[in-house]
Amino acid sequence: MSGLMTFLIALAAIAAAGWAFRFTGQKVTGNAPRFRDMAFAVAFGYALGTAVLIWAVWTYVQAQFILPEAEANKYFYFVTAIHGFILFAVLAFLFRLLGRAVGTAGSRKLFRQMPLTASFGVLVILLYTFFAIFAAWLAPHGQEQVFAQANVVPGGNPALGGDPAFPLGTDQIGRDILSRLIYGAQNTVGIAFVTTMIAFLLGGSLGFLAATLRGWVDQSLSRLVDVLMAIPALIFALLLITVASAWVKGTGLTIAMVLIMALIDSTRVFRLARAVGMNIVVMDYIEAAKLRGENLRYIVFREILPNATAPLLAEFGLRFCFVFLTISSLSFLGVGIQPPLADWGTMVKDMSSFINYAAFAPQVSSAPLLAAGAIALLTVAVNFVVDWMLHRSSGLKE
Amino acid sequence: MGEAAANLILHEKKPTGILDSVLKIIAQRLALGLLTLFIVSIVIFAAVNLLPGDFAQAILGQGATPEAVEAIRTDLGLDQHPVKRYMQWLGGALQGDLGSSFAQANFASFVGEDSGVRTSVAQQIAPRFANTMFLAGVTAAIAVPFAVTLGILAALYRNSIFDRATNILTLSSISSPEFFLAYVLILFLAVLNPWLPSLSNIYDGMAFSDRLEKTLLPALTLTLVVTAHMMRMTRAAIINLLASPYIEMARLKGINPMRVIVKHALPNALAPIINVVALNLAYLITGVVVVEVVFVYPGIGQLFVDSVKIRDIPVVQACCLIFAAAYILLNLTADILSIVSNPRLRHPK
Amino acid sequence: METDASKHDDVLVEMKGIWMEGRSDEDWHPIINGVDLKLRQGEVLGLIGESGAGKSTLGLAAMGFCRDGVRISKGSVHFDGIDLLSASSEDKRKLLGKRIAYVAQSAAASFNPAHRLIDQHTEAPIQHGIMTKAESEADGMELYRKLRLPNPDEIGFRYPHQVSGGQLQRAMTAMAMACRPDLIIFDEPTTALDVTTQIEVLASIRQIVEEFNTAAIYITHDLAVVAQMADTIKVLLKGDEVEEAETREMLSNPTQAYTKSLWAVREFQRPAKPAVLTGATPVISVQNVTAAYGKIDVLHDISFDIHQGRTVAVVGESGSGKSTAARCITGLLPPRIGQVELDGASLPLDYRKRDRSQLQKIQMIYQMADTALNPRQTVGDIIGRPVEFYTGLTGKARRKRVEELMDQIELPADQFIDRLPSEMSGGQKQRVGIARSLAAEPNFIVCDEVTSALDQLVAEGILRLLADLQDKLNLSYMFITHDLATVKSIADEVVVMKDGCVVEQGPKAEMFTPPHHAYTDLLLSSVPEMDPDWLTNLLQERGVDNIGDAAVGKMT
């Protein structure tokens, strides 16, 4: 097991480097508290981080400048990932600068406190929204348009089997991948968004109702939700879709799936809305309103809801991610969004076999990863924004 | 409580009472779990059976011969009352008999002969169930120690570069669909560097090491998914714990940092960590379905998806019941273990 | 016995020009601004100040310790000649627990729930290599005995949640003493306790600190407490030192205006009102009320009257049922037996069955202004809603009425009307709460611990405002409190409650002159006074076994 040996030797070397780093630090700075009280684990961490960084830079330089193209192909994805990372970091940074300079005082203040991850998130969400709304104008071709040229390699380079007319190539039956990706933003994101909205309307209103009314309404709804939540979401969705698929096909099945997902997700929203509502209902100002003789409508809409929006907004982001990922998984399994709608999950499933060409023709295999990456990118973005929102609200509490 | 009352209790030593109350709570939770499972079985059954219309017809489509439809109907007992059918189904399920698959019945009726030797659902599921358990086991064996260690480290060095980097990495991993992670791993570990096989063709009687090798890539994918959740929740639990006054007190007593962690934090962290682990293993269930499809791993998840596509209702029902049971069981375990590891409940007043 | 000269050399802790900062978001803001502190061996220094004065932060800094998000930006801390700020964490750890110990505010949270008391007690001596486990256990029991814990030989073998709050606080003092440290930091050790429990803890802390000649920094916001405990008092205000002097000197001759105003708080007292005419109809009459949460009775046959323009103070310790009595009056908890009369007419027991004019006449002011005001509504809306709801005023008329009300609570309307609760201080929020109840134009207001979450000066302002309003508007108050000083300053009549029963009731003058019911007597005698000899005299008078919970135990 020479691999294991290399690994162990590398680990030992890093440990030694960490020790040396701390030791030199102590000597050079004259035992400054920073080095004196440094645990070995911390020193090891610094050494490990440095080692990984050096490895990454070295590999990048090799792949970009030193190795012949055939061998560098192996590092195509590594290099692309680094380019993507740098590109997005720079874009996010510029976007934040822009946000700090333009806009109202409030929005400028928001951008000033924003970490880079959150500004990346906001930027990506805006981009996706833009593509989703204007898909019909932005996409060069229709989502179901079939061309004679099938299996065109992405990249638009004729020497590698590409075609400038199809910058990201075409799939097995000759549909333009770029157009389908853009339409996918409309379909996949739009459907997930609508589903989450329905889930919030349903689960949210029932949750607040349960929290305000208590008694048997709360009891029966809560027990029902307990039971429904005892079945994992994806499993339950698959079961219900099986049933639905016996009655409806195509677009009808897509609509059925939306309703099923909304129903399943509304149980989670119910739990949250109820918990948030309960926390507010026990407040003295609610008691004061009740003792004043206010009716239920005033209490729910004027006293409870305004205080519930902030926690629910963060949750909306998380629920959206969950619904979006689950719908993508369903599509990937072939029972989610149905043709003729172009959809990222289905695209990954259809083109997954391209992956195996990665070793000699990396461009070919990028098509399914582009679709899957598009899904991941949006969820990462939403998660970054939500993470920052949660961090902010918890910070304000102190 | 006044001290007079406290004195009274001090003299009353009830060694049996301690065990009683914990056992009572555990028994309550167990009963509740069983009840939930029972109701879930009704839900699963009802979802399929209470819809209007002729199911046999819907399954076979318009082109089916009336004989075939009729054969399925009687064969599966669709002509009987739903409640009676449910009792039969549940009774069978309790004895390990999950009925016979539609696909088989369908095939038999089209061929026009009923050989009587059909694979039952149970027979179909059993080997795949074992395979899935193996996959889950390998995943848990990698993910649990890895995630808990990472979580504790991130909590100890919170707000450091390490913590921020893991935060970004785990958020990204949570955000990625399972199939994306799977293909990225295939890309780097199977295609670009041919270290591991990208297809998990597992069969009976293969050597353990071979089996492990073929299982490794799907297990790693699941590990990525589960680790992120588990690590973040562990981190949150530990940070919460480290902020408690008794940890500050231990530090102010001059106890060395290692002992503060081992002696003061860990006994109290056990309950939340166990909870996190069990909850995330329950999360594996969802992940297993997609990952098995990507790697063509012959587990129960793949069977489930295949059956969904051909609308093989008995198999879908059975798989659903198994997944739900596993999910409930893991949640129940989390519940009970955190009761047992809570000192306040172990040593009641 | 040391001479004065040698005492001067015995400096144990010396902090010079300490500046501390705390982090919120990405900014550091000051907490302590250049405070000096000097403590000699065996000396007890009282650190007092209102919330946010930085007393706990300074106390911890004396141990060389900063909480997360706090740092010492300038200055030096020396303990017995050791520079704590530049000492390695290893060296500091050798001092903590061994030579410097800490007693936290909440003993219940500061004991590890997973270990028995004695194991936590012996941990420091064993880890610092001072005693073996057996020695330390024996010593622990001895300390428990000295601190007058019941069953000192057994109590250590229990888990923290099995022991009451007052006992835990003493067990924590014992734990701090385990290595016989030179210095103990007491961080508000009795703040969370009831008065009768507090006195026992105070007595035992003082006794043990004197016995071992331990130096101590005693942090508290309660002047009367610090007067019993400290040799010297240092007053802090928002991170600045106001003044420091020997205790008696400080109590009799404070030099700074702020200190004087703190001292003066306790002197506010309303003139006594003439006795109520016999036969007058009370505004509120609680008659033979028994109430229960679920199946357990928490109030047992209580009766009292509240007359027009009077304040009835309902006093008792936590769990005595005083807030429950208020819930019965407001109708949130309908009594099981008995009734409540408003102006001689019987009220429906459940608030949902009361009509609008009945609801209007009974209003409430809450303890926590934070939870009593909707954080999403402006002051104008909070006060305006009941105006609109009860009087039907809208638009300009409503706004005018709101401005009038804000005038009454002494908040300038032009500055405050558009503010959200988060943009106001605790005292201002409490005033808005008062205005909201006044907006209904009630006859009767329930004040539920309205001053207990506030600093003393602010609390005094609220009490004066309530007294003024009562005179102007002829209001009746039910004043729920656990603080007898508040009772003395504002009440006309007093109702003493214990375990859901009314122990004694009557006019204030009668209640504060003997003879009393035994419990009232104990309650009154347990309230610390500003006299530094008060605790000493009380112990002499009654003996250690007749104070606090020990005495309550004897009563029943």
Residue C300 maps to which CATH number?
3.40.50.300
ipTM computed for the complex: 0.86
Backbone phi, psi, residue C350, to 5°: -95, 135
Q: What is the pLDDT of residue B10?
A: 38
Interface test with A, best of C26, C29, C351, C376 (most A CBs within 10 A): C376
Contact A113 C386 (CB under 8 A): no
B268 and B299 both lie in a single domain: yes
Residue A65's nearest CA partner among A81, A46, A79 is: A79
Q: Is any Cβ of chain C less than 8 angstroms from the Cβ of B256?
A: yes
Q: Which of B119, B138, B158 is the last residue of a domain?
A: B119
Choosing from B67, B90, B119, the residue where a domain stops is B119
The verdict on whether omega for the bond into residue B52 sits within 30 degrees of 0, i.e. cis, is: no
Instruction: Check B349 against C162: CB less than 8 A apart.
Output: yes
Domain of residue C116, residue span: 108-180
Same domain, C189 and C253: yes
Instruction: Tell whether B255 is within 8 A of chain C (Cβ).
Output: yes
Q: Helices then strands (H, E): number in chain C?
A: 24, 20
Domain assignment of residue B93, given as a range: 55-119
Region B62-87 average pLDDT: 70
Residue B104 is predicted with a pLDDT of 53
Q: Are residues B155 and B69 in the same domain?
A: no
C-alpha span between C429 and C191 (Å, rounded): 23
Per-residue pLDDT, A99: 86
Dihedral sign of CA atoms A240, A246, A251, A256 in order: negative
B268 close contact with C: CB closer than 8 A: yes
Are B205 and B243 contained in the same domain? yes
CA distance C477 to C464: 14
CB B18 within 8 Å of CB B347? yes
Residue C420 lies in a domain: yes
Predicted pLDDT at A41: 82
Rounded Cα–Cα distance for residues C114 and B266 (Å)? 10
| Full strand arrangement of the beta sheet holding C11-24 | C27-40, C11-24, C70-79, C82-83
Same domain, B148 and B261: yes
pLDDT < 70 regions, chain C:
1-9, 25-26, 265-267, 548-550, 552-556
Residue type, A306: P
> Could you tell me where the DSSP H helices lie in chain B?
3-11, 15-49, 55-60, 66-75, 82-94, 102-111, 121-156, 161-175, 178-185, 208-242, 245-252, 257-259, 266-294, 300-309, 313-340, 343-346
Contact A292 C366 (CB under 8 A): no
d(CA A301, CA A30): 64
In sequence order, what DSSP letters do the residues of A172-205 get, joined into one string?
Answer: TT-BBHHHHHHHHIIIIIHHHHHHHHHHHHHHHH
| Contact check, Cβ <8 Å, B7/C112 | no
DSSP B15-36: HHHHHHHHHHHHHHHHHHHHHH
B100 shares its domain with B215: no
List CB contacts (< 8 A) between A376 and chain B. Answer: 172, 175-177, 180
In whole angstroms, give the CA distance from residue B261 to residue A41.
15
CA pair distance C553, C546, nearest whole angstrom:
10
Q: Which of B88, B119, B150 is the last residue of a domain?
A: B119
CB contact under 8 A, A398 and C372: no
Answer whether A387's CB lies under 8 Å from B235's CB: no
Of C180, C201, C219, the residue that ends a domain is C180
Q: Is residue C281 situated within a structural domain?
A: no
Phi, psi dihedrals of residue C511, rounded to the nearest 5°: -65, -30
> Which residue in this structure is represented by tokens 């645990």?
A39
- Interfacial A residues in 225-284 facing C (CB < 8 Å): 283-284
Token pair recorded at residue B141 = 């064996």
The number of domains in chain C is 3
* DSSP letter assigned to residue A334: T
Q: Is residue C364 part of a domain?
A: yes
Distance between CA C103 and CA C80 in Å, rounded?
Answer: 20
Last residue of a domain, which of C160, C180, C200? C180
Cβ contact A378:A124 at 8 Å: yes
Is C321 inside any structural domain? yes
C101 CB within 8 Å of a chain B CB: yes
Is residue A228 within 8 Å of residue A203, measured between CB atoms? no
Min Cα–Cα distance to chain A from C372, Å? 4
* Cβ distance of A37 and C356 shorter than 8 Å: no
Which pLDDT score is estimated for B102?
62
Based on the number of CB atoms within 10 Å of its own CB, is A47 exposed (0-12), middle (13-18) or buried (19 or more)? buried
Structure tokens at A360: 């000699």
| pLDDT attached to residue C523 | 82
Question: Cβ distance B346 to B23 under 8 Å?
Answer: no
C114/B343 Cβ within 8 A: yes
Same structural domain for residues B335 and B188? yes
CB atoms within 10 A of CB C140: 27
Give the pLDDT confidence score for residue B21 in this predicted structure: 73
Q: Is C480 inside any structural domain?
A: yes
- Closest to B213 in 3D by CA, of B183, B191, B190: B190
pLDDT tens-place string over residues B248-301: 999 999 888 888 888 888 888 888 888 888 888 877 877 888 999 988 888 888
CATH at B197 = 1.10.3720.10
In a domain, C223, yes or no: yes
Are residues B185 and B210 part of one domain?
yes
Q: Which of C467, C472, C469, C508 is nearest to C491 (CA)?
A: C508
**Token pair belonging to A320:** 């959206």
Are C47 and C196 part of one and the same domain? yes
Reported as type and span, the H/E element at residue A61 is: helix A40-61
Q: Same structural domain for residues C200 and C150?
A: no
- At residue B72, the pLDDT reads 66
The pLDDT, as a whole number, for residue C223 is: 84
Is the CB of residue A43 less than 8 Å from the CB of residue A18? yes
What residues contact C365, with CB distance under 8 A and at least 6 apart? C372, C430, C433, C434, C437, C445, C446, C447, C448, C450
Write out the two tokens for A321: 């991610």
Q: Which two tokens stand for residue A277?
A: 């509502």
Q: Are residues B224 and B83 in the same domain?
A: no
- The residues near C111 (Cβ < 8 Å, ≥ 6 apart) are B246, B249, C117, C120, C160, C168, C171, C172
Asked whether residue B71 falls in the same domain as residue B195, the answer is: no
pLDDT at residue B61, as a whole number? 61
Q: Is residue C287 part of a domain?
A: no
C280 burial level (CB within 10 Å; 0-12, 13-18, 19+): exposed
Quote the minimal CA–CA distance from B13 to chain C in Å.
Answer: 11
Contacts of C358 (CB under 8 A, 6+ apart): C342, C347, C348
Q: Which segments of chain A have a pLDDT < 50?
A: 396-398
Q: Pairing mode, if any, of strands C70-79 and C82-83?
A: antiparallel
- Tell me which residue of C153, C187, C184, C152 sits closest to C48, measured CA to CA: C187
Q: Which residues on chain B are in Cβ contact (under 8 Å) with C171?
A: none
pLDDT of residue C281: 86
- Let me know whether B115 and B146 are in one domain: no
Asked if the Cβ–Cβ distance from C386 to A292 is below 8 Å, we say yes
Instruction: Check residue C152 and report its DSSP letter.
Output: T
Is C415 buried (19+), middle (13-18) or exposed (0-12) by CB count in 10 A? exposed
Cβ of A333 within 8 Å of Cβ of B308? The answer is: yes
For residues C346 and C376, state if they share a domain: yes
Residues in chain A: 398
- B263 in the same domain as B114: no
- Give the relative orientation of helices A177-184 and A362-397 as an angle to the nearest 10 degrees: 20
pLDDT of residue C9: 62
| B37 lies in some domain | no
Answer whether residue B49 is part of any domain.
no
C542, C527 contact by CB (below 8 A)? no
Q: How far apart are CA C93 and CA C78, in angstroms?
A: 15
Considering the domain boundaries, does residue C362 fall inside one?
Answer: yes
Run of H or E including C105: none
**Domain identity same for C203 and C324:** no
**B113, B134: one domain:** no
Q: Which amino acid is at C479?
A: F
Q: Which of B3, A188, A189 is nearest to C199 (CA)?
A: B3
Rounded Cα distance, A213 and A211, in Å: 6
Q: Taking CB atoms and an 8 Å limit, are A285 and C371 in contact across chains?
A: yes
Does some domain include residue B305?
yes
Give CA–CA dist C307/C276, Å, rounded: 7
Domain assignment present for residue B224? The answer is yes
Q: What is the pLDDT of residue B19?
A: 59
Against chain A, the chains showing at least 3 CB pairs within 8 Å are B, C
Structure tokens at A319: 């629920």
B182-201 pLDDT per residue, tens: 888 888 888 887 788 877 77
Q: Count Cβ–Cβ pairs < 8 Å, chain A vs chain C.
A: 54
Is C65 in the B-facing interface, judged by CB distances under 8 Å? Answer: yes
Q: Are C366 and A288 inside 8 Å of each other by CB?
A: yes
Residue B228 vs residues A381, B53, B157, B186, B326: alpha-carbon distances, Å? 16, 45, 17, 19, 21
Residues C455 and C424 in one domain: yes
Does residue B186 lie in a domain region?
yes
- Residue pair B295/A203 in contact (Cβ under 8 Å)? The answer is no
Residue C515: is the preceding peptide bond cis (ω within 30°)?
A: yes
CB spacing of A239 vs B320 below 8 angstroms: yes
User: How far apart, in whole angstroms, are the C-alpha atoms of residue C255 and residue C110?
Assistant: 38
| CATH H-level superfamily of A79-398 | MetI-like (1.10.3720.10)
Chain B stretch 187-246, residues whose beta carbon is closer than 8 A to a beta carbon of chain C: 243-246
Contact with chain B for residue A334, Cβ under 8 A: yes
If one counts every other C-beta atom within 10 angstroms of the C-beta of residue C214, the result is: 21
Kindly state whether C159 is in contact with chain B, defined as any CB-CB distance less than 8 angstroms. Answer: yes
Task: Kindly list the residues from chain C whose CB atom is less than 8 angstroms away from the CB atom of residue A288.
Answer: 364, 366, 372, 436
A356 contact residues in B (CB cutoff 8 A): 191, 198
The segment(s) of chain A belonging to CATH 1.10.3720.10 are 79-398
